[in-house]
Amino acid sequence: MTIPRLQGAALATVVLVAVGSVAAPTAAGAAPGAPGAARYSAGAASVGDPYFPDQGNGGYDVQHYDLTFSYDPATRFMDATATITAVATQDLDRFNLDFRGPKVSTVTVNGHAHGFTRRGQELIVTPRPKLKAGHTFTVVVKYAGVPGPITDPDGSIEGWVPTDDGAFVAGEPQGAPAWLPTNDHPTDKATFRFTARVPAGLTAVGNGQLLSQKTRDGWTTFTWDSTEPMATYLATITIGNFQVTESTTPSGIPVYVAIDPRLVAGSAAAVAQIPQMIDFFSATFGPYPFASTGAIIDRAPDVGYALETQTKPIFSSAAGVGTMAHELAHQWYGDSVSPERWSDIWLNEGFATYAQWMYTEHTGGASVSQTFNSSSNYGRAASSPFWQTVLADPGPEEMFSNIPYNRGAMTLHALREKIGDGAFFRILRAWAANHRYNHAATADFIALSERESGQKLTAFFDVWLFQKGKPTTW
Ligand code: ARG
Ligand code: ZN
């Protein structure tokens, strides 16, 4: 999706990667730069994010994903048609999608059937006629089979995770291609529509708003519409036996909560506080960025974490109050403003963790400075291995360890103490407003902090973000 301000820089990177990585396969017959050389070339097979080098692709910008599918938990069989609308950002004779799902039967581009190949997570399409830069094109991918989970560098699972009554669907940082052909990187957001047909009695819960729900011949079809741009890793269409509750926050935002009946009691306190969490965060961070909110509380014991799936965070067991606050705060920081590179993950996890500390204080629990000083945070001994990871580059194995969460939140609190509440809260609001529905990098946050505070913060960010060791002066 077109991303006005930062896109220039991001696009330049993509094009460079494209030239570098496709030179060999397309070299035959085309002398680059020579007069009359073909203008068409292959889109890059990557956006060049070092944590997940196969993620994302170049040469196009996705506008919209439409996925229509049936899924039967009894057989775990999925039958799907994905329609992807994109704009070519270069003259393309080949492009890739990221896909690790079941067997593909056909791929069409603008209605013409095409050859395709699969290599690792790359679904490689050679459109004919070729695609001209600036033109919108439509890719339809039909596939069927049994989708499954993907294992991350930290050993956790994501993607399409079958449960005892359906499937838990979550995609951070690389799970979306388990079930949907995508340009799988947060720098290419799009709108989404999911139409899921599941056995009657089950509910399919997606991001955004429920457009329709119809039961016929023993199957129910749910259509979910995500109207604001979304990163692929935040997509879900989770299926199960759910108790559904619909309400609205005092400020008028629709709330849709789906809970596995076995988890209702254990999640009651967290669910009851969703409206006041949304209101507290809106007052602190600026307006809630999406048209609806809610939660999906499912039983997926092998997953063991929650995720901030857009508009409706997903939980793999009963939801606690702290985790609910964390996942709802991500709607501003992570979902609306996404990381430009996965090494920027502290901008997600540090912010959501700090928001959780603020919510605890707001509701009469420990103050943020008590939490900052506690033994799981600044109170850790300087000799603890905790301090031995660089926050601004934790690596793919540690991107969801307690470093981005706790050291990230501590960094924000230390910044607040250094520059004062006025500048600090202006920064939090400006971060959400300036990069809304977009992506941003650590360097952007440093620049914003210096601008809003009027201070040079090189030494501060150096010790907190770029150096190992327990910060002592800043
Ligand atoms: N972003 C999620 C949260 O903290 C955690 C996702 C963990 N994912 C993983 N593959 N380990 O809210
Ligand atoms: Zn988080």
**Cα of 401 from ligand 1 centre, angstroms:** 9
**Cα of 213 from ligand 2 centre, angstroms:** 31
pLDDT digit string, tens, across residues 284-323: 999 999 999 999 999 999 999 999 999 999 999 999 999 9
Ligand with smallest separation from the Cα of 316: 1
Give the residue carrying structure tokens 């996942």.
327
**Cα of 330 from ligand 1 centre, angstroms:** 11
pLDDT, mean of residues 19-32: 38
Asked if pLDDT for residue 21 goes beyond 80, the answer is no
For 108, counting Cβ atoms within 10 Å of its Cβ (0-12 exposed, 13-18 middle, 19+ buried), the class is middle
Taking the C-alpha atoms of residue 436 and residue 7, their distance in angstroms, rounded to an integer, is 13
Which amino acid residue places its CA nearest to atom 12 of ligand 1? 307
- Cβ atoms of 127 and 93 within 8 Å: the answer is yes
pTM here? 0.93
Return the sign of the alpha-carbon dihedral for residues 131, 134, 138, 139.
positive
Taking the C-alpha atoms of residue 23 and residue 101, their distance in angstroms, rounded to an integer, is 28
Give the residue carrying structure tokens 């070299």.
27
Q: How many helices (H) and strands (E) does the chain have?
A: 11, 23
**Cα of 49 from ligand 1 centre, angstroms:** 18
Asked if pLDDT for residue 30 goes beyond 60, the answer is no
Which amino acid residue places its CA nearest to atom 6 of ligand 1? 307
- Cβ atoms of 312 and 330 within 8 Å: the answer is no
Atom in ligand 1 nearest the alpha carbon of residue 334: 1
| Site to substitute for ligand 1 among 154, 158, 172, 330, most atoms within 8 A of C-beta | 172
Atom in ligand 1 nearest the alpha carbon of residue 399: 11
Taking the C-alpha atoms of residue 81 and residue 68, their distance in angstroms, rounded to an integer, is 5
Residues in the chain: 474
* CATH 2.60.40.1730 domain locations along the chain: 1-239
Q: Name the DSSP letter for residue 43.
A: P
pLDDT bracket for residue 3 (50, 70, 90)? low
**Cα of 400 from ligand 1 centre, angstroms:** 6
Ligand with smallest separation from the Cα of 355: 2
Q: Name the DSSP letter for residue 307.
A: B
pLDDT digit string, tens, across residues 126-170: 999 999 999 999 999 999 999 999 999 999 999 999 999 999 999
Q: What's phi and psi for 390, nearest 5 deg? A: -80, 120
**Cα of 396 from ligand 2 centre, angstroms:** 15
Asked if pLDDT for residue 469 goes beyond 90, the answer is yes
| Site to substitute for ligand 1 among 52, 233, 305, 403, most atoms within 8 A of C-beta | 305
Which H/E stretch holds residue 269? helix 264-272
Give the residue carrying structure tokens 């307690």.
402
Asked if pLDDT for residue 414 goes beyond 60, the answer is yes
**Cα of 111 from ligand 2 centre, angstroms:** 40
CATH T-level topology, domain 339-466: Neutral Protease; domain 2 (1.10.390)
- Cβ atoms of 403 and 390 within 8 Å: the answer is no
Asked if pLDDT for residue 32 goes beyond 70, the answer is no
Which amino acid residue places its CA nearest to atom 3 of ligand 1? 307
User: According to the model, what pLDDT value does residue 167 have?
Assistant: 99
Asked if pLDDT for residue 2 goes beyond 90, the answer is no
Q: Which residues line ligand 1 (CB under 6 A)?
A: 152, 154, 156, 158, 172, 305-308, 326-327, 349, 400
Atom in ligand 1 nearest the alpha carbon of residue 158: 10
- Cβ atoms of 25 and 76 within 8 Å: the answer is no
Which amino acid residue places its CA nearest to atom 1 of ligand 1? 307
Which amino acid residue places its CA nearest to atom 5 of ligand 1? 307
CATH T-level topology, domain 242-331: Zincin-like (3.30.2010)
pLDDT digit string, tens, across residues 193-227: 999 999 999 999 999 999 999 999 999 999 999 99
Taking the C-alpha atoms of residue 2 and residue 59, their distance in angstroms, rounded to an integer, is 13
pLDDT, mean of residues 49-54: 98
Asked if pLDDT for residue 49 goes beyond 90, the answer is yes
How wide is the angle at C-alpha 289 spanned by C-alphas 191 and 252, nearest 5°?
A: 110
Taking the C-alpha atoms of residue 104 and residue 144, their distance in angstroms, rounded to an integer, is 7
Asked if pLDDT for residue 395 goes beyond 70, the answer is yes
Amino acid at 418: K
Amino acid at 266: G
For 107, counting Cβ atoms within 10 Å of its Cβ (0-12 exposed, 13-18 middle, 19+ buried), the class is buried
**Cα of 172 from ligand 1 centre, angstroms:** 6
Q: Name the DSSP letter for residue 318.
A: P
**Cα of 176 from ligand 1 centre, angstroms:** 14
Which amino acid residue places its CA nearest to atom 8 of ligand 1? 172
pLDDT digit string, tens, across residues 63-76: 999 999 999 999 99
Atom in ligand 1 nearest the alpha carbon of residue 308: 12
| Site to substitute for ligand 1 among 156, 400, 403, 405, most atoms within 8 A of C-beta | 400
Asked if pLDDT for residue 11 goes beyond 70, the answer is no
Taking the C-alpha atoms of residue 356 and residue 372, their distance in angstroms, rounded to an integer, is 12
Asked if pLDDT for residue 22 goes beyond 50, the answer is no
- To which CATH superfamily is domain 1-239 assigned? tricorn interacting facor f3 domain (2.60.40.1730)
Which amino acid residue places its CA nearest to atom 2 of ligand 1? 307
* CATH 1.10.390.10 domain locations along the chain: 339-466
**Cα of 345 from ligand 2 centre, angstroms:** 9
**Residue 173, preceding peptide bond in cis (omega within 30° of 0):** yes
